[in-house]
Amino acid sequence: MTFTTMKKFNFLLLFALMAFASASLLSSCGDDDSTPPPPDPDPEPDTTKFTDPRDNQTYDLVYINGTTWFAENLNINTNTTDTTSYYCYDDNPANCDTLGGLYTFYAAKVACPAGFHLSTEAEWEALITAAGGAANEPGKALKEGGSLGFNALLTGSRLVNPSGGSAFLGKGDNANFWVIDETEDSFSSQVRESSNSVSLRKDSFTKNAFCVRCVKD
């Protein structure tokens, strides 16, 4: 091999080695994922609590078979200078603090905060089914300390006599909840202590004052 040929060979060999080193370096850089990890997602909102912006009261929530319910009775004063639609049992404000308010039906229809609505007939039927069905003492699962976390308190009600007068009755024995159907007609649901029953019925005495449970839209 002549000197010129050897020089050319050495040059080509050096060029090949440099090319190989460059390719290895590029490959190594490609394998090193230097992209920073994505930032942590925003924390999930607290889905077990809701603070009503109208008066800053905070309510427990409970998720039952695809539906998010208030796990407490609503307690916002809906009275105006002209009408009384919100009552405390025995007219004692302390009972509203511990048991929630009692509402006439027409106040109950609009009392829930934005993003929630008055519980419907269909939602109560599904709730009773989740509690074991009407024939299986669903009140056990729905009352305070029950398995569903609904925590129905035996608040009693304010009942109006069509002939005149009214009375607070039933505290410690039952609780009535206003319910609305698809035609916005008035129903009520009653949870009883003595029988652990839950009854859902048409109720035309809209001036009676019952509990309100709100459901997330």
pLDDT at 20 over 90: no
Distance CA 23, CA 3 (A): 30
Give the pLDDT score at 21.
46
* Mean pLDDT along residues 196-205: 90
Q: Taking the model in full, what pTM does it have?
A: 0.78
* pLDDT score of 25 more than 50: no
Q: Tokens 């109560």 belong to which residue?
A: 124
pLDDT at 194 over 90: no
d(CA 1, CA 213): 99
Is 56 in contact with 49 (CB distance < 8 Å)?
Answer: no
* pLDDT at 134 > cutoff 50: yes
% residues pLDDT > 90 (the chain) = 68
- Which pLDDT score is estimated for 195? 86
Helix (H, G, I), strand (E, B) or coil at 25: helix
Does the pLDDT of residue 8 top 50, yes or no?
no
Run of H or E including 87: strand 86-87
What confidence tens digit (pLDDT) does each residue in 85-108 have?
A: 999 999 999 999 999 999 999 999
For 59-82, the pLDDT digits (tens) are 999 999 999 999 999 999 999 999
161, 158, 164: which is closest to 211 by C-alpha? 158
The yes-or-no verdict on residue 43 having pLDDT over 70 is no
Please check the confidence at residue 42 and state whether its pLDDT lies above 50.
no
Q: Which tokens go with 181?
A: 């159907």
Query: Helices (H) and strands (E) in the chain — how many of each?
Result: 5, 12
Per-residue pLDDT tens over the stretch 145-177: 999 999 999 999 999 998 889 999 999 999 999
Average pLDDT, the chain: 85
pLDDT in tens, 107-121: 999 999 999 999 999
Instruction: Match 């109208």 to its residue by tokens.
Output: 54
Q: For residue 203, is pLDDT > 70?
A: yes
